[in-house]
Amino acid sequence: MSHTRYVNREIPQISLADFESRIDNITAELINAAENVGFFTLIDHGLSKQDIEAMFLTSKSFFDLPDNAKAIVPWNSNNVGWEKNSQIRPSTGKPDSKESYQLQFGENMKGLWVGDDHLPGFQASCLGFMQQVQTISECLMRCFARGLGFPDDFFIKCHDVSRPDSQTTMRLLHYFALPEEADGNVYHRAGAHADWDFLTLLFQKEGQSGLEICPGREVVTEFGIGDKWTKVEAKTGEIVCNIGDLLMSWSDDRFKSTFHRVKAPCEHGDYFGDRYSIAYFNQPCKDSLIQGPLKKYPMVTGAQFTENAMKRNFAALQEKLKTVAAA
């Protein structure tokens, strides 16, 4: 196994303290991070470490259920529900060694919330946390709208989570503990990819490292694997944010959607234990109209953008699977 090539890159850390009075400074910092790295971390965002730890406990209580209980809320193509070892990325052609449970605010969740009989209060806790993360997301949306010359509430309206058909998704993730002794297998955790949403907010747990980024749009479009990675430290109180393909397109490619992964642990110093993380994907309403101020790309609806992203992903995956089969 060859050694991963690492490079130190500055990942901007942005404080949201005194948001209303500092909005112009915060906007400048966010725009700079979005243009140059595509990733940044947030502090002073209003969620306490205790709130985040409580959500991680709730998440663990779900994953601790037996598989036959989790299978009552199976994943479907509305991007909701539970899956295990089923997500295959075009970069790897192999399933991620993980399970995840995707949650939304609206009608897509009908019948897919784990019930109070299994986990009392689960739905209410998740929705409460999601609402808090939405509030933080909306602060960032105001800044990005300003930075691009749109009205302040422009992106907020385009991602309205009070609509029954809202697509915004919180994903609880559990990566399984892996053997530390090499056994000839590669256990991908989250194979390298870019997100196709507007903006992702990610919660990590101290001590459960593995997230890495690889800036460079060229590796994204080819679904290839760039070769120089930067570790993003896991700190429970921080929120790691990354620009998704949607905001990249909406900014006429000014802001960067950055390739990232949770590394398949394989080298000395890698973390092999269970990893829990929580990702919040800001997704557009189906009828939102998407076009950047410079009109670099034709206007599409939110539904079309997502459909195109899924098609592109599917096509790249088929290509990869052919090479995996031929190997």
Ligand X SMILES: O=C(O)CCC(=O)C(=O)O
Phi and psi at residue 6, in whole multiples of 5°?
-110, 150
Query: Which residue, 211 or 214, has its beta carbon nearer to ligand X?
Result: 211
- Partner whose binding site includes residue 146, from Fe ion, ligand X, none (CB under 5 to 8 Å by kind): none
Say whether residue 29 binds Fe ion (CB under 5 A). no
Q: Which amino acid is at 165?
A: D
- Partner whose binding site includes residue 103, from Fe ion, ligand X, none (CB under 5 to 8 Å by kind): none
Say whether residue 195 binds Fe ion (CB under 5 A). yes
39-43 and 13-15 strand pairing: parallel
- Partner whose binding site includes residue 285, from ligand X, Fe ion, none (CB under 5 to 8 Å by kind): none
Distance CA 115, CA 123 (A): 8
Query: Which residue, 69 or 88, has its beta carbon nearer to Fe ion?
Result: 88
228-231 and 5-6 strand pairing: parallel
What Rg do the C-alpha atoms of the chain give, in angstroms? 19
Say whether residue 197 binds Fe ion (CB under 5 A). no
CB of 226 to Fe ion, least distance (A): 15
* Cβ neighbour number for residue 31 with a 10 Å cutoff: 18
CA 223 remoteness from chain centre: 17
CB of 67 to ligand X, least distance (A): 20
- Partner whose binding site includes residue 277, from ligand X, Fe ion, none (CB under 5 to 8 Å by kind): ligand X
CB of 193 to ligand X, least distance (A): 6
End-to-end CA distance of the chain: 18
CB of 100 to ligand X, least distance (A): 7
- Partner whose binding site includes residue 211, from Fe ion, ligand X, none (CB under 5 to 8 Å by kind): ligand X
* Cβ neighbour number for residue 309 with a 10 Å cutoff: 18
Q: Which residues bind ligand X (CB under 6 A)?
A: 171, 173, 190, 195, 202, 204, 211, 260, 262, 277, 279
CB of 22 to ligand X, least distance (A): 28
CB of 194 to Fe ion, least distance (A): 7
Query: Which residue, 130 or 145, has its beta carbon nearer to ligand X?
Result: 130
211-214 and 259-262 strand pairing: antiparallel
> 252, exposed or middle or buried, with CB in 10 Å at 0-12, 13-18, 19+?
middle
Contacts of 93 (CB under 8 A, 6+ apart): 317, 320, 321, 323, 324
Q: With CB under 5 A, what is the number of residues at the site for Fe ion?
A: 1
200, β-bridge pairs: 242, 281
- Partner whose binding site includes residue 173, from ligand X, Fe ion, none (CB under 5 to 8 Å by kind): ligand X
Q: Which amino acid is at 276?
A: Y
Query: Which residue, 204 or 251, has its beta carbon nearer to ligand X?
Result: 204
Question: Applying CB under 5 A, which residues contact Fe ion?
Answer: 195
